Structure 1
Amino acid sequence: MPLIEMLPVGADTAQWDVWGTVARVVVTDPAGTDEAAAIVADELAAVDLACSRFRDDSELRAASRSGGRPVMLTDVAADLVRAALTAARETGGAVDPTVGAALCGLGYDRDFAALTGREVAPAVRVFPKPDWRAVRLRGRELTVPDGVLLDLGATAKAVAADRAAAKVAARWETGVLVALGGDIATAGPGPEGGWRVLVQDRPGDPACTVRLPAGAALATSSTASRTWGRRGELLHHIIDPATGRPAPRVWRTVSVAAFSCLRANTLSTAAVVRGHDAPTLLGGTPSRLVTPALEVLRIGGWPQ
């Protein structure tokens, strides 16, 4: 996952574990570190309550249990669902929020921290075929077809990073970087020379240092992280909606730079799903793709 390699002069940082990953907040004004961390933590708590599929009291779980009846969402939950449906539309369904049941069928039915090290027994279950077009969001009114379980894991973390960074910058008028695992968002004035970020999924993997200008974002999607065992196979969390199975490991990681973390994450996830068609999908977007053999493909002006 991307790491902040070097802090700008005068910057300070805070970090803690959340959602099976690490949240990290870096601000250019050290006086704002504690309050910035509190703002980010509050935002993550609101997102978790809105859309976690591992909480019985989340709005998303309630909508999925509504039997196909419309439910009213809070503004936070509506924004998160809207972002997920936008990602689905922009990727032709490669990033689909209706894959929740497929993930549960594969054993990813609890927070990833609780899943790690646990072998999942195969199960024969029948789920509705993922199809984001069956979900209806009108304003804050959400209708989820009966039997469909929404999972916003492909977009919610990126939206949370964007929202949290924007809130910190507005409150302190400072430069801020919010990293949630492989999702990085920045806001406010950046440090001189930009935010310096080391992109590397795991120790021993190819590494690359990039400089993000103020307001830029970076997302990395990986088939090597968030994996778990099921008898006879190793699974990962990026689902191909066409099959309901983990996407083939054409790419070990895909990193994309954009001017929102949501956009970067949408493209990096879709690229993993599209496999060999990923370079066409990404076009001129700055991207770095790593194969299982650790060969690196750079497109769109990604630096060497």
Structure 2
Amino acid sequence: MAQACWSDRGTEVRVVVTGSQACRVARRLVTAELAARNRACGFRWAGSELSRVHRAAGTPVPISARLAELVAAALTAAELTDGDVDPTVGAALLRLSRTGRDAWLPVCGSSLRPTPQSDGWRRVMLRDGLLTVPVTVLLDLTATARAVTARRCADLLAARTGGGVLVALGGCVATAGPPPPDGWRVPFGGATLVLAGGAVARTRTTGRGPARPIVDPRTGLPPAPVWREVTVAAADPVTAKALSLAALVRGPDAGAWLAGLDTPARLVAVDGTVETITAGTRAELTAVSGG
């Protein structure tokens, strides 16, 4: 088994492959996929494909298959979480972020307002390769785009190498192919998760570097500070990421909600208290250790 780790534009990348000769191929492939993601939906890059959609001011725009995949994943996450994870919070994110709005206002104009919009994601239309975004809406696909890219990389590498693959992009981890005999070991802070397969995602409210704000779509503001971080295991990294982020938004109700979904999870409160949820029928998360 071989491993490669590096940083790509601030994203910590870790690739583990069961074949010792596959790491060089893995690095090239993952780097190319991350670059393609940025070209498609870079949030603060005026040259991204998504910025062209925003400049279209509410008219349908033909988009690439990659951007369509990223938008579809974001809308699926919104539906899965009853709108807790909403890609239309882009304007609110700009208002809350440290680096802020100057990077985007010349691109999108001054019509954007960080006004809370219930179910704003339902106003985004993706149909037959055409994407329509209302003129007052700024899409931010960051919450799920990393998970989609991790899944793509794992699937492509497993198909190319014929072995087992783990791809971690920051807090999003995807696996594909046959796992090692003792499972995939995923270190997250003081805990080590052992995966038999599937995916895991961690969302934090604090960390190294400028923190990306967490936004409650119903208020346009950060949620009450209940959890410091939430880690969720699921069959798919997009599902895992959506549920971990939604748990932060739901605050004190998150544990019961995840338990009701039969979802393995680890929630760390702001005071350091740890709540672990063990699923009764799901086997993706087979062990959690550490403090």
TM-score, reference length from structure 1: 0.84
**Match among 187, 197, 201 for residue 219 of structure 1:** 201
Higher normalized contact order (CA 8 Å, seq sep 6+, divided by chain length): 1
RMSD of aligned alpha carbons: 2.0
**Aligned AA for 1:127?**
P
Change in 2 beyond 3 A, CA 1:94/1:227: farther
Quickly say closer, same or farther: Cα 1:259–1:108, change in 2 above 3 A: farther
Amino acid at match of 2:227: W
* Alignment pair present for 1:266 and 2:248: no
- Hey, which of these two has a bigger chunk of helix by percent? 2
Structure 2: give runs of 5+ residues left out of the alignment: 104-111, 280-286
Distance 1:70-1:226 versus aligned 2 partners, 3 A rule: farther
Q: Contact between 1:47 and 1:156, CA under 8 Å: does it hold in 2?
A: yes
- Tell me, yes or no, if structure 1 residue 82 matches structure 2 residue 77: no
C-alpha deviation, 1:20, in angstroms: 2.2
Contact persistence 2:165–2:175 (CA under 8 A) = yes
Residue 128 (structure 2) pairs with residue 139 (structure 1)? yes
Q: CA deviation at 1:145?
A: 0.2
- What's 2:140 paired with? 151
CA distance in 2, matches of 1:64, 1:237: 22
Pick closer, same or farther for the CA change 1:61–1:128 going to 2, 3 Å.
farther
Residues 18, 248 of structure 1: alpha-carbon distance in 2 compared, 3 angstrom cutoff: farther
Q: For each residue in 1:142-194, what CA deviation from the matched residue of structure 2 results, as whole angstroms up to 9, or x when unmatched?
A: 00000211001110001110111000000111111100111100111111110
Task: Specify the SS of the correspondent of 2:219.
Answer: coil
C-alpha contact (below 8 Å) 1:164/1:178 kept by paired residues: yes
Question: In the alignment, what sits opposite 1:297?
Answer: 275
Please give the residue correspondences for 1:18-167 in structure 2 after superposition, counting only pairs within 5 Å: 18-109=8-99, 126-130=113-117, 131-167=120-156
Distance apart, 1:266 and its partner CA: 0.6
Deviation of residue 107 (structure 1)?
2.9
**Matched residue pairs, number?**
269
> Which amino acid is 1:217 matched to?
A
Answer whether contact 2:96 2:213 (CA < 8 A) is retained: no
The reply on whether 1:186 has 2:162 as its aligned counterpart is no
The aligned amino acid for 1:144 is V
Question: Is there any run of 5+ residues in structure 1 with no aligned partner, and where?
Answer: 1-10, 115-124, 201-206, 229-234
TM-score, scaled to structure 2:
0.87
Contact 2:115 2:220 in 1 (8 A): no
Q: Which of 206, 210, 230 is 2:193 aligned to?
A: 210
